[in-house]
Structures are given as C-alpha cells and as structure tokens.
Amino acid sequence: MPGANGYSVLFEPVKIGPVTTRNRFFQVPHCTGLGHVRPQAEAAVRAMKAEGGWSVVSTQETEIHPTSDLGPYAEHRLWDKHDVPALRLMTEQVHAKGSLAAIQLAHNGHHAMNHLTRAPVLGVSDRPIDVVYPKQARAMDKQDIRDLRRWHRDAALRARDAGFDIVYVYAGHQMTLAHHFLLPQYNSRSDEYGGSLQNRVRLTRELLEDTREVLDGHCAVAFRFAVDQMIGTDGMQAGEEGRAVVEMLADLPDLWDVNVADWSNDSQTTRFQPEDGYQLPYTEFVKQVTSKPVVGVGRFTSPDLMASLVSRGVLDLIGAARPSIADPFLPKKIEEGRIEEIRECIGCNICVSADNLGVPIRCTQNPTMGEEWRRKWHPEVIAPKQQEEAVLVVGSGPAGLECAMQLARRGYQVTLAEASGEFGGRVRKESRLKGLSAWKRVADNRLWDLQQRGNVQMFTGSLLTAAEVADLGIPNVFLATGSSWHRDGRGRTSPLALAMGGMPVFTPDDIMDGLLPPTDGPVLLYDDDQGYIGGVLASHLAAADRKVVLATPGAVASAFTELTLEQHRVQADLLQAGVEIIPLHALQSADASGALLSCIYTSRPRRVDCASVLMVTSRQRGTALYDDLTAHHADRFTTLELIGDAAAPGLIADAVFTGHLAARNFERDPEAADADWFRRELISLEDMGGA
C-alpha cells in the first residue's frame, strides 16, 4: 500500500504540461537494439515497464530524417508516415497498461554515419564524423537549418499521430545536432548560431519553440539536456554554461530531463562509479532554476534515496534506464512494500553492449529483458510445474541459482547442492576483485528469493560425486558446475599448451581464491581472453603492490570493454596504476626468468623479465560430473542437463540466461522447444512506394 512503507511521496502524480503522470517513476529514453528493426519486441519491452509501474515509458532516440541514419544500429525511426504504425504499437501497449508514452526525437548530425541512406552528413561545422571512417560532415547552411527545423516539426506531428504524450527535444550525449551546436568543441560557426552562448543555444530554442507550436498543447514537450560533460574546463560545466542554458530556457519546455555527457559518463559502470545517484552533484541545481518538473538519473536503486530526493526537492521524477531494465517491476515492488524482491542493477553495461552490437538488449540481472515478445517471457510470471515433482541443481553460480529459483517458482521440490562453503560461484568470486563488489547482487537477489521458499533445500560444502547424485534418487538433474581457467596458455591465439619452463603460473581462479603472485619481480598478465577480467585482475594486482605487465594480442587492454563503454577508463586506470601495457603481442613460451612474446604482425620476438605469469586465456568446462553420470548412471534420470559455463563458458549474463531457459523449458517437449526457438520479425514484402 502506498503510504504504508514510507515511500508514498514516490506515488504522487506529476503534471507535465498537458499530461499528468500516475507516479514519479520515469523510464527515460534508452536503447534496446530492437527499435525500428524489431518493433513488436520493442513495444513489448516498453509495455512491460508500464505494467511494472513506470508512469512514463520512453522510446530510444528516434531518427527524424534520412540524413540522420544511425544504421546498422537499431534505434527508432520516424522518417515518414510509414514509420508511424511501428511506433503506434508501442504507444497503444503502454497506454493499455496505464502509462504515458514519450518519444525522443533526434537528428544526430555528425554522429550519424548515413551508411544506409548515403545522404551527406550534416554537422554544426565541417568535421570528421564520430566513428572512425574516412568521411566528413559539412557545416549546415541556413537552408539546412530551415530544413532541419521543418523535419523536426514534421516528426513531432507524426509522433503525435502515433499517440505519444510527451515529445522530446534532445541535446545530450554529444550525439545530436542540438547538443553539437551548444558545445564550442564542435561549434566553430561565425554566424548567429555560433560564438556566444546566446547564439549557440539558438537552434535548441528554435526546436523547442517549433515543437511547442506544432503540438499546440496536445503533447508535453520535454527537453533532454546534458548539463555537464565531466571534462572540467575543457567542456560544458554544470556550474557555468550548463546552468546558463537552463536559465535561458527555464520555462520553455514542460519537463527538464537532465544528465551528464557523453554516454560513457551518463552510463558509468559500478566498476568506476559505485555510487547510486552519482549524477546529482551535477544536476541538482536545475530545480532551483526552473519552475517546470525535473527528471534526473544516476543508476538509482535505493528507494530511500529516491524518496529523499523528492522530499528534499532535488527531483520531481525518478529517472531510470538501467534500473528499469534490471527490474521492470521496481515501482510496483516499492509500492507493495516488496523492497527485497527488487533485482538491483549491478552496473555492468551488458545491456549497453547489445546496443553497440546492434542486437536485442540483454541484461545480466534480468534474463527476460528483450525476450518479452520473441519468447513471451514475463519477468514475474512463469508457468507452473507439470507432472514431475523433484529436481536437483548442482552448483550455485549464476546459472544454478537462476535455474533453481525459477524451478522453485514453478512449484518443484528443489535441492541445490554447492561444493564450496558459500553460494554464488563465479559471481561471489569475481565480486571480490577490485571494482566488482556490486556484482554479488546477482547471487544475493536469488539467494534471498530461494530462502523464502518452503520447497527449496540448499546445501553448501556438498561436493557431489556421480554415485552420490545417482543415490539421491532425484530423476531430474541440472548441472551448473561451472568452468575453471586454463593454466597452460591454450586459448584464442594458441590452441595448444605453451611451454612455460620453470615459470610459476597463476590463473584468475587462483587470484580470486586469494593467492597473490610473488613480489620478487613483475607478474606478466597474459590477456589472450581480451574480455573484462584481464583488466580487472591487472588493476587488482596493482592495488596489491604488484608490478604488472599486461601483454595482449589485442590493440588495447580489455578490448571487449569498448562495448560496455569502459575501455578508455580501463586503460587510463591501468596506466595510472603503473601497469605496463604491451599490445599486439602473443605469448610464446617462458623459462625460469622471463617470458617470450612475439609481435602478432611481424613475429618479431620480445623478451619480458618476470617472476610469474598470470594466464588469462580460456576456460575449461566443468563437465566431469556430467560425463560420469551420462557414462554410468544415465538410466537413472529423466533429465540430465548441463547449463551455464559448464555448457559453454561466457558472460555471467549468459549463465543466468541458460539457467532461466532450462527452467522454462523443463517438461516441455524438446522438439517443440527446438522448433519454437523464438519468434522473428520478418521484413514485409509490401510495396511502400514513396513517402
């Protein structure tokens, strides 16, 4: 009951121009990798947020014209009337669940590549486009600016026709023309759109006025604005021009949606920014300047902080992208006093990585995210059990915990056995490393849920052998026995073990188990995996006063982390910690006093003196128990299934997903499950004609 748990302030309505929210939870625009390419899946993601209690649900950025073509990335698109039905799908479904729908209109200027349309790239000034590709944007002339304003007005009208309640003008993330015009680092114009802040803000003011005018009170007009670039005096600062912009435009929009730029600052990971509400020092001034409602973000997961922000007049609406992805039902759970059930975002940016790959969104904490339409998965609902009664899950890493929890929810008698002294597997281990402590939420959330249930028995210190599993007499067994890091150097570059002479060799498992390399010389961390863990370990060891040399065949440290928006921070952090980085080199061999690397292009050798090697190459699947059971006891079981890293080592998100999938598919006809892998959105062969 609102009011009963002290959070009633979060459930008050807020008037935004001509529309009123039902509470203060606001899902700000965020990418999904679905967009115009997969509109039915997109609508279902947003509708689930509405069902979970988010009173406003926004699209991702929506291209307004073919000169703002972000392909191959799957954002939204509103180039002409043919795009309206796909967006109407979303507004109808969001309205049906009682929420307001918002659309973030965008012209991306030199951030667009126009690879699909081959249109000239329009920019505030002449300059190379954002991505590394030999192509430049041309400075927009006056006719271009008139055209842009017309495109924006037309798109706003189409948004209204699609049923949106709130239409955004977007100057954020250094990704849109409105923002590029505002920032001197991009704007070198000498006309009335360049130079003084008064001039640089002109385009934004015109877009806001145009949008208000054409919508004529039918929809609210929101303004998304990055008040600070987090680069100090080299960029826009909240205390300087950021504030001045808010003062100039104070009451022009119906809603201020404020954050920081660029995207890597707006979506910082817990590895580099562990605090909830980390953007508040930049954004909290805004409410003092405008009389209009303000929404802000900062990976809010604490209801206490949310309520206090509203009570103290810092924000009117609690904005969220990632917390709403990790738990679409966060508002409902707060409203109903089910705080412990909230699946808190761990700030890993695996959701972001999917957008950067142009594939459907996924989430480490919420395996149903992106699967609402294509697999018909609901984060809070799962089919009840059928005939079978009892299941055994062996291993309590992310795969085992998720599988056990979902099977328990389905109503089976669940036994969970864990060999070690604590539950959580790799999540527990990795969360001991520097910067990753928030990751233990993946285990904590599931353990709490399992502990509430009367149909679950859980055992630590229970290393099961095949004979013991067979003797338990439980006919359905899921083996989430994980994986361990290879010590012998085989991996991406070398399929075979490397000759390591007398060199002491450590693995990531050793470090996570608390071992440290000797201090009598540097440790060579060989990162052939090139995921996140190599960089984390280097940082961890440097913090433990080890001299670290990180060698990798990649061009940069932790290349994978480009996708999570972290790579720049990873490499800067390592260099600042004194880690020597040797890119583009593969490990060949070692002897007692050092290691031999070779350049991946020329094979030129390079020797590194070191006292130990930390091998971060690839993982060995933990299938021994499964192999033994299938070889000697198969006739005792109805189900014997490997899940998680034991089936295929991957991300924590993959382990959670396969645990979830196995629980959903349990007692389904395997052939039907195979044929029904997921629903696809196929291209229509209808002739669209011209606009």
CB 362 within 8 A of CB 370: yes
CB 528 within 8 A of CB 582: no
Is 31 designated active site?
Answer: yes
Per-residue x/- mask for ligand ADP, residues 394 to 433, rule CB under 6 A? Answer: xxxxxxx----------------xxxx----xx-------
CA distance to 124, 135, 186, 226, 245, per residue, from 189 (Å):
7, 20, 9, 21, 18
Whole-number minimum distance, CB 21 to ligand SF4, in Å? 22
Beta bridge partners of 149: none
For residue 673, report the phi and psi dihedrals to the nearest 5 degrees: -65, -35
Is 568 designated active site?
Answer: no
CB nearer ligand SF4, residue 436 or residue 597: 436
Residue 362 identity (one-letter amino acid) = R
Question: What single DSSP character describes residue 682?
Answer: P
Whole-number minimum distance, CB 565 to ligand SF4, in Å? 10
Residues 315-354 that bind ligand ADP (CB under 6 A): none
Is 633 designated active site?
Answer: no
Quote the CA–CA distance of 517 and 600 in Å, as a whole number.
Answer: 27
- 346 lines the binding site for ligand SF4 (CB under 6 A): yes
CB count in 10 Å sphere of residue 555: 10
- Helices and strands (H, E) in the chain, number of each type: 24, 29
Whole-number minimum distance, CB 480 to ligand ADP, in Å? 5
Q: Which does 646 bind (CB under 5 to 8 A by kind): ligand ADP, ligand SF4, none?
A: ligand ADP
CB nearer ligand SF4, residue 140 or residue 351: 351
Quote the CA–CA distance of 681 and 661 in Å, as a whole number.
Answer: 21
CB nearer ligand SF4, residue 355 or residue 528: 355
User: Minimal CA–CA distance to 517: which of 490, 492, 542?
Assistant: 542
According to DSSP, the β-strands at 56-63 and 25-27 are parallel
Handedness of CA 374, 384, 408, 674 (dihedral sign): negative
Instruction: Report CA Rg, the chain.
Output: 27
Q: Which does 68 bind (CB under 5 to 8 A by kind): ligand SF4, ligand ADP, none?
A: none
CB nearer ligand ADP, residue 311 or residue 451: 451
Among 625, 651, 653, 661, binds ligand ADP (CB under 6 A): 625
Per-residue x/- mask for ligand SF4, residues 301 to 340, rule CB under 6 A? Answer: ---------------------x--xx--------------
Whole-number minimum distance, CB 657 to ligand SF4, in Å? 11
Whole-number minimum distance, CB 268 to ligand SF4, in Å? 10
Is 170 designated active site?
Answer: yes
Quote the CA–CA distance of 23 and 379 in Å, as a whole number.
Answer: 21
- 215 lines the binding site for ligand SF4 (CB under 6 A): no
Residue of 173, 180, 540, 585 marked active site: 173
CB count in 10 Å sphere of residue 233: 6
Quote the CA–CA distance of 126 and 135 in Å, as a whole number.
Answer: 11
- 244 lines the binding site for ligand ADP (CB under 6 A): no
Residues 449-508 that bind ligand ADP (CB under 6 A): 462-464, 480-483
What ranges make up the beta strands (E) of 93-208?
Answer: 100-106, 121-123, 127-128, 136-139, 166-171
- Which chain residues interact with ligand SF4 by CB under 6 A? 322, 325-326, 345-351, 363-365
Q: Which residues are catalytic?
A: 31, 170, 173, 266
- Which chain residues interact with ligand ADP by CB under 6 A? 394-400, 417-420, 425-426, 462-464, 480-483, 622, 625, 644-646, 655
